[in-house]
Chains A and B, each alone.
Chain A
Amino acid sequence: MTAQVTSAAVSMTAAVPTSHVLAVAAILIAIGTFGVLLRRNLIFMLMALEVALNGAALAFIGAAARWGTADGQVFVLFIMVMAAAEVAVGLALILQIYRRASTLDADVLDTLQG
């Protein structure tokens, strides 16, 4: 199965311009940022962050495709690892916040004001 996919991939020789890949990545990052700024619920913020991270990962893959090396993919792997750790800890924090403040509204949590 893997070989078939690979050969199928090789037979398609028309390549995507790198700038287009980066453009898509930029759009995804922008959408993620938009989500972080827009939403007040912490969980939605977290999800928007994931979108942005994906955009970054796509940019790296584009770079890897440009140069034909594995370095970009390795980096995306690391991004994923970091995203996993981040989501885990972030969700644990969200759980704590919900237990203490009974709300997930980020605007309510302003004890550090002043």
Chain B
Amino acid sequence: MTVLFYASAAVATVASLLAVTRTQALHALLYLVLALFAVALCFLSLGAPFLAALEVIVYAGAIMVLILFVMMMLNLGPESWARERHLLPRHAWLVPAIMASALVLLTLFAVLSAPQQATQAASVGPKAVGVALFSTYLIGVELASVLLLVGLVGAYYLGAKK
């Protein structure tokens, strides 16, 4: 399991990096899907099979597809790829790179300097998650459904052609 974790972590990192740096939207999206799959495997290796499945179904399956649909709707052609390349000159990379690396370094410093603790090998199955959801976090569930409703209505209204 640990090997699985490190391997999928590496894939996720590389895929994410590629996803944010592509000039063609579709390429970026596909790399992102790959990254999501890798993260799902990470989840699995950490003993969260239910959420691994959910990650694939909801995130990679629904959310990414949604973005794909919108991209198709916008119907950006080859000129958009040229424009994207134009929008990413050499000097644009500098400040974000600095900031991001600073962020990484700081958080890594924080994380790795804490005393080492091991994760547990046992996986927490869907049953436990379900029990927790509908007993302790019941209000959260209700609020989440309200949020989804709001998002639904909002997206419908905002996306409608005037």
Chain A residues packing against B (C-beta within 8 Å): 2, 5-6, 9-10, 12-24, 26-35, 37-41, 43-44, 46-48, 50-51, 54, 57-58, 61-62, 64-74, 76-78, 80-89, 91-96, 98-99, 104-105
| A54 CB to nearest B CB, Å | 5
Interface size range on B against A: 35 or more
Whole-angstrom CA separation of A109 from B136 in the bound complex: 44
Contact B154 A95 (CB under 8 A): no
| B86 CB to nearest A CB, Å | 10
- The 9 A-B residue pairs whose C-beta atoms are closest, nearest first, are A85-B151, A35-B20, A92-B159, A37-B96, A34-B100, A65-B119, A92-B158, A12-B1, A26-B107
Inter-chain CB contacts under 8 Å: number: 277
Contact B125 A51 (CB under 8 A): no
B54 near A: Cβ within 8 Å? yes
Which residue of B55, B111, B152 contacts A19 across the interface (Cβ within 8 Å)?
B111
Chain B residues positioned under 8 Å from A30 (CB to CB):
100-101, 103-104, 107
18 chain-A/chain-B pairs, Cβ below 8 angstroms: A6-B125, A10-B123, A16-B5, A16-B46, A22-B111, A31-B16, A37-B96, A38-B21, A38-B96, A44-B20, A64-B48, A65-B47, A68-B120, A69-B124, A73-B129, A73-B132, A89-B155, A92-B158
Question: Which residues of B in the span 40-61 have a Cβ within 8 Å of any Cβ on A?
Answer: 42-51, 54-55, 58-59
Contact B158 A89 (CB under 8 A): yes
Contact B144 A78 (CB under 8 A): yes
Contact A50 B32 (CB under 8 A): yes
Smallest CB-CB separation from A3: which chain B residue? Answer: B125
Chain A residues positioned under 8 Å from B155 (CB to CB):
88-89, 91-92
Contact A77 B1 (CB under 8 A): no
Chain B residues positioned under 8 Å from A31 (CB to CB):
13, 16-17, 20, 100
